[in-house]
Amino acid sequence: MYQMRRIPMRDLGRKVTRNRKGKLRIWPLLLFGAYLIYYFASHQETVPVTGRTQLIDISRQQEIALGLSSYREILSQEDVIGSGPEVKMLRNVAKRVAAVVDAKDMQWEFNLIRSEQANAFALPGGKVAVYTGILPITQNEDGLATVLGHEIAHAVARHGAERMAHQRLTQVGTLAVGASIGDMEVNTQRIVLGALGIGSRFGILLPYSRKHESEADYIGLIYLAKACFNPEEAPLLWERMAEANRSTPPEFMSTHPAPSTRISQFREWMPEAKRIFTAHCKS
């Protein structure tokens, strides 16, 4: 009679791992490709001013509700300045810039937060906040208009919603790749997924973020010129920003273009901004 040999469970696990063929399953990638085509075709929007086609998969109402909720939560945790000359200047400049924006669904709100941060942010629906730490760098109304024009442009261009769509698409793509390499050895799967994560971050998400920042710079420049602020202050502002913050990471690792890149772009766009300024502000 034949005797059945018992194999320890740990050896069985090793044998299963060794017997994996390492073949790539094609069907998850094909399904993802078909989904990608449908997704892009059915979620197209156009960015105002630039005319760029963008990918957005939530309604404006959903986006505005998310922005309002986040804005209220942030303000509840910050030292919001209710009145004073700085608040008055902020709201006067913001009112002038917002007045030239063709976005009737925006519910503009501008607040000043006491903080050493040299920063500002915009959330969907027109919710904008500026930190007092940036005011010594803006120096004047034209510099502040540059910052506000940039943040207003983010809201109008719906950059937040577009980033959410890109992140969702990246997640679905990662799941598809994970399913396609499911028969490979565990170490191989880790290597592939790790490389995919790095590639999507540095090849897709960060470049798109920098593209959004440059687009907001351009749109904001057009807005401030139409609002009769001096567009030539924009590159000067970024010269001061570069001087105030010398520890910026390399551009390819950052969500924002390098200050030198932004200054160069503003110089490139300046003739157009000056023509707009002259046409709207003859006096």
Kindly list the catalytic residues.
151
Residue that is written with structure tokens 């059945």 in the block: 4
Conformation bin of residue 158: beta by default, left when phi > 0, alpha when psi is -120 to 50: left
- Residue pair 159/246 in contact (Cβ under 8 Å)? The answer is no
Annotate 22-61 with b (16+ C-beta within 10 A) or e (fewer). Answer: eeeeeebbeebeeeeeebeeeeebebbbeeeebbbebebe
Question: Would you tell me how many other CB atoms lie within 10 Å of the CB of residue 246?
Answer: 7
Conformation bin of residue 47: beta by default, left when phi > 0, alpha when psi is -120 to 50: beta
* Alpha helices by DSSP H, the chain: 9-19, 27-42, 60-76, 85-99, 135-138, 141-157, 159-180, 186-200, 206-226, 233-244, 259-280
Question: Which stretch of DSSP H or E encloses residue 127?
Answer: strand 127-131
Dihedral (Cα; 174, 169, 65, 207), 10-degree rounding: 100
Q: Are strands 109-113 and 127-131 parallel, antiparallel or unpaired?
A: parallel
How far, in Å, CA of 208 to CA of 216, rounded? Answer: 12
